[in-house]
Amino acid sequence: MPNYKIGVIGLPGKWSTEVLADEVEKQTGFRQVIDMALVSLDLAEGRLWFGDDDLSTYDALIIKKITRQYCPNTLDRLELLKFAQAKGVQVFSRPDNIQQLINRLGCTVKMANAGLPMPETVITEDLDMALDTVMRFQSAILKPLFSTKAQGMQQVNSGMKKSHIIRELKKLQADHPSLYIQKTIEFGGRDLGLMFLNNKYLGAYARVGHKDTWNTTIHSGGHYAPATPEQNVIDLAFKAQQLFDMDYTTVDVALTDDGPKIFEVSAFGGFRGAHEAMNMNVAERYVQYILQRLQSGSLCTNTQLTIA
């Protein structure tokens, strides 16, 4: 058994965090779940403390979840982990790469610049432009710049009173001056999560939404199901995730009459969809990959390693 000290950055008690920590313990004999709310950086001492433990002495840290919600504080916590990385700790995925995905706008613009297909989207601080966009789209989703699992999102449409739409826009703008407005697309209430480990496709699952909701998230009553996407969908998702050089991630794709559309690349790819829809233990494969990286001494970039 490899003698490595690997910590899991996550939310204690949450399923994915605990599954990953269990897998680290199974493969190394060491287990530590690290709540970033309890981490302190002492610059004078050059120590990153979690209780009496100095995280800058670890061999590796795996970031499963760093805050309960995406928010500017998420970026602050990633900065702390950059300190450990600079001290020689391998961090999976690298904080710089995760930061690109925390703010929805950064992810969207990078994919747009790469020419990847997404739902029609307008970003503006101008309320008049925002209202005109909703009218033009007829149905739109208002998305916070920092959010996950559709939290904080609102669907509006041109049939609503303009005063109601403006109220929703102002409510969103109170937290995010830039308004992110995405056209509602028809995708049959079912989208796909395609998983990638070290730039290799692992498989895909579907999220099937509840009949009474516009989104497919499990939090809104959706459920996971098996999926076998066409090669063109896999190729598209591969190109999207490749932009961000994540060690492990998932790409959310909707299948529409106009072809596949990418919703987002995940900053913290989940494990439950693979477990429930495919009976696949992604955590096991992820830890195997990390151990291979540590054993090979690969520090800076993703290298092609074979995971059974």
Q: Are residues 193 and 271 in the same domain?
A: yes
- The domain tally of the chain equals 3
Give dist(CA 26, CA 9) in Å, integer.
Answer: 17
> What residue numbers bound the domain in which 220 lies?
186-289
Mapping DSSP to helix (H, G, I), strand (E, B) and coil, where does residue 208 land? strand
In a domain, 1, yes or no: no
50 neighbors 78 (Cβ within 8 angstroms):
no
State yes or no: cis peptide before 93, omega within 30 of 0: yes
In a domain, 299, yes or no: no
218 confidence band (pLDDT: 50, 70, 90) = low
Nearest by Cα to 165 from 187, 191, 194, 136 = 136
Give dist(CA 58, CA 24) in Å, integer.
Answer: 13
In a domain, 112, yes or no: no
In a domain, 104, yes or no: no
Global confidence as pTM: 0.90
Q: Are residues 179 and 210 in the same domain?
A: no
What pLDDT sits at residue 221? 67
In a domain, 107, yes or no: no
State the Cα angle at 103 between 98 and 108, rounded to 5°. Answer: 95
Q: Are residues 158 and 227 in the same domain?
A: no
Q: Are residues 130 and 155 in the same domain?
A: yes
CATH of the domain at 225: 3.30.470.20
CATH of the domain at 176: 3.30.1490
pLDDT tens profile 9-55: 999 999 999 999 999 999 999 999 999 999 999 999 999 999 999 99
* CA contacts within 13 A on the Cβ side of 210: 8
Domain termination site, one of 53, 77, 92: 92
Q: Are residues 192 and 225 in the same domain?
A: yes
What pLDDT sits at residue 212? 65
Give dist(CA 45, CA 54) in Å, integer.
Answer: 11
In a domain, 222, yes or no: yes
